Every structure is written in C-alpha cells, then in structure tokens.
Amino acid sequence: MLTREELERREEQFLAPYAMRSSQSRGRVYPEEEHPYRTAYQRDRDRIIHTTAFRRLEYKTQVFVYSEGDHYRNRLTHSIEVAQIGRTLARALGCNEDLTEAICLAHDLGHPPFGHVGEATLNELMRNYGGYDHQRQTYRILTVLEHRYPDHPGLNLTYEVREGVVKHDTDYDVVDARDYHPEERGTLECQLSNLADEIAYNTSDLDDGLRSGILSSDAVQQLGIARKVLESLGMDGRVNLHETMNRHRFIRRLVGMEVTDTIQATQAALEAAEVRSIEELRALPYNVAGYSEEMRELNAELKRYLFRNFYRHYRVVRMASKAARLLRDLFTAYMEEPLQLPPQTQKRVDGHPEGLARVICDYIAGMTDRYAIQEHRRLFDPEERA
C-alpha cells in the first residue's frame, strides 16, 4: 500500500523545485491528524467534491440556463473541465496536480444561480449590506457555510487551497487577499488554476455558442485564433463549424493550442526569472504563469468577440433579464416577510453578525437555477403549493 509518507517522498523526488509540496503546507486552521494514505491536498480535493455546494453546480448556469438543453455547459461541467486542464498544466510543469485540482474544483462554488447576471443582481441588492462577490462567497462556503464537522465550521482546508481561491484573479474575479500575505504571489499551482479557468470558459463558450447557432461560423473564422487553428488542421478556407465533427475537431485543437502555449510560455518565464524555489516564486512581483504575447492578443480578440456576439446576444440577454427579475422578487419577498424562509434559514438570522440581508443572500446564492424558479412559483403563483 502506498502510504502518505511514500506519496510525500515521491513529491519530493519528482516535483519541480518551485512546486508546492504537501509536506510543506502551512497547515489548517484547526489541527488534524494526517491521513494514512492521502496527502493533505488529496484530502482537500475530496472534501470539496463531497460538498453540497459542489453538487448544486450541476444546475447553475454557465451561459445557458438548464432549460435550454442538456448539452450546454453548466457550472459543474465547467469546473470539471477546468480541473482537467489544470492537471495537464501542472503535470507538464512539474507542479502539484492535487493542489491544482483542488483549487480548480473549488473556484466556482460561490456562484449564485443564473451565472454572472445572478452575481451582478445580488451585488446590486446587497449594495447597502456589504455587496456580493462569488469569489468571496466561495471562501465563505469553504470556511463557514458548509457544515460537515462537529468541532468547527467549514471544511478546514489547507492554507494553500484557501489561498488559491482567494488569489483567483481571472478577468471576472476580484482579489481580496488581506489574510493571505497579499505581498506574496500565489503558488504556481494557483496561477495555473487561473489560466485553466480562462482556457476552459473561452473555449467552451465558443463551443456552446456555435452549437446553439448563436455564433456565425463565417464570423468565427475571421478571428485570428480560429484562422490559426484551422490552418493547423489543414482546414483553412470556409468550413462549416456548425457541423458537429468539424466543431469537435476545431475546439479540441483550440484547447490543445492554448494549453501548449501556456506550458511553453510559463516554462520560458520560469527560466528567465531563474526561479529555484517556492520562496523565490512567491517573491516575484508578477505572476510567472501566462500566455505568449501572440496568444494573449489572440485571446483578447476572442473575448471581445464573445462579449459582443454571444454574451450580449438577445437570446442570452432575455434569459439574463428574466433571471434578474426573478432574483429581485425573491430577495424583496424574503426581506419583507422573513417568515417565508425555511425554518433552518430563519434560525441563522438571530445573532448573525451581518443580519437578515446576508442570510437571505446566502440562501439565494446557494439555490440552483431550477430551485430558484420553483421557489419563485411557490411565492408568487397562488395556485402553486407552498
């Protein structure tokens, strides 16, 4: 049997000098005995997977609500794709795959129903009560809201996984690292998790946009990154990217090119900075993981295209507008009459440091799209059973 000690010895032997070893973790808030055959980061990954919040991601919007179809990404499938890409990046660069995977699987736990419009709506509703941010909510879930142990709140994850969540800084995230040495860069595993997230949502949103017919095949092929991918496949010229096999080949190669570029660019940056330890990596004034300059520009063009033609498409905006109205209705109804909340949620109100609004916000943020729609019916449809 492989013991934890043997796994830690293998990390010491095979991981790069700048990688984070589980035996060198800064530990947990509440001391625990080590596991006989799992490393600290393997335990963290397993704890995240077994949370209620993780299971709920199956019915939380990525771009399309669940009722639009079974084949579009949701927050759960997105998180799994991020973890797969993250492990590939970590393995190629000699980093700790388990730490990377744990951060990737946890990074979206705090997303409310209905994706980014749900977050924006809750932030607006909570404007006078401290606001709402999915990254901070993820941290609250991991440290406070998940109740699985009798002796402490939260999951009691290692410092490095919590730090990876706090320092998750893609374009759509807000960093607040006051309790996690903001002067230090995140581990390389943390940095790679950020890039895995960006690669996953750019490529999968392009895939879903083409599958849905919202994105034009001809227009996509005008993008620099698309031309590069099609040329590498020997498919340069007009190609029907709405055809299933063409789309699969195109997206598969796109993911591969993004991942390869990230590995090569990050390795070059590590060598240029002469990083020889985790301490030296943390001391750098910049994130060492990243794309080449060419890929960064190509991705920027892709993001602009997706924003204008996919996220702002009338079908997506209609879904988003309906979702925003629904969440405002729920929040207002609970604030006006808190006795409509479930008994267990009502119990949290008494003595809660941030008051009724935060309890309601936590309750709504934990809903799936499906549950939020059902709850709205229960509250507003006289013929619906309470």
State the pLDDT at residue 270: 98
User: If you average pLDDT over residues 360-382, what whole number do you get?
Assistant: 95
pLDDT in tens, 244-254: 999 999 999 99
> CA–CA separation, 230 vs 220, rounded Å?
11
Q: Which domain range does residue 96 map to?
A: 4-110+134-313
Q: How confident is the model at residue 69 (pLDDT cuts 50, 70, 90)?
A: low
Asked whether residue 178 is assigned to any structural domain, the reply reads: yes
Query: Does residue 357 lie in a domain region?
Result: no
Torsion angle, alpha carbons of 278, 282, 283, 288, to 10: 100
- Residue 156, sorted as left (phi over 0), alpha (psi -120 to 50) or beta, turns out to be left
Which tens digit of pLDDT belongs to each residue from 141-183?
999 999 999 999 999 999 999 999 998 775 444 445 677 888 8
If you average pLDDT over every residue of the chain, what do you get? 93
Q: From the CB of residue 234, how many other CB atoms can be counted at a distance below 10 Å?
A: 7
Q: What is the pLDDT of residues 200-219, one digit of tens each?
A: 999 999 999 999 999 999 99
385 in a domain, yes or no?
A: no
28-42 average pLDDT score: 96
Name the residue among 31, 38, 18, 190 with its Cα closest to residue 106: 190
Comparing 61 with 30, the larger pLDDT belongs to 30
Report if residue 221 sits inside a domain: yes
Note whether residue 286 is domain-resident. yes
The CATH code of the domain that includes 237 is: 1.10.3210.10
Residue 196: CB atoms within 10 A of its CB come to: 30
> Other C-beta atoms within 10 Å of 319: how many?
21
Does the residue 55 lie in any domain? yes
The verdict on residue 301 lying in a domain is yes
**Mean pLDDT of the 5-19 span:** 97
Asked, for residue 179, whether it belongs to a domain, the answer is yes
- With a cut of 70, say whether residue 65 has pLDDT above it: no
**Of 310, 67, 77, 62, the residue nearest 206 (C-alpha):** 310
Q: Return the pLDDT at 61.
A: 81
Task: Report the domain count for the chain.
Answer: 1
242 has a pLDDT exceeding 60: yes
Q: Which residues contact 29 (CB under 8 A, 6 or more apart)?
A: 143, 152, 156
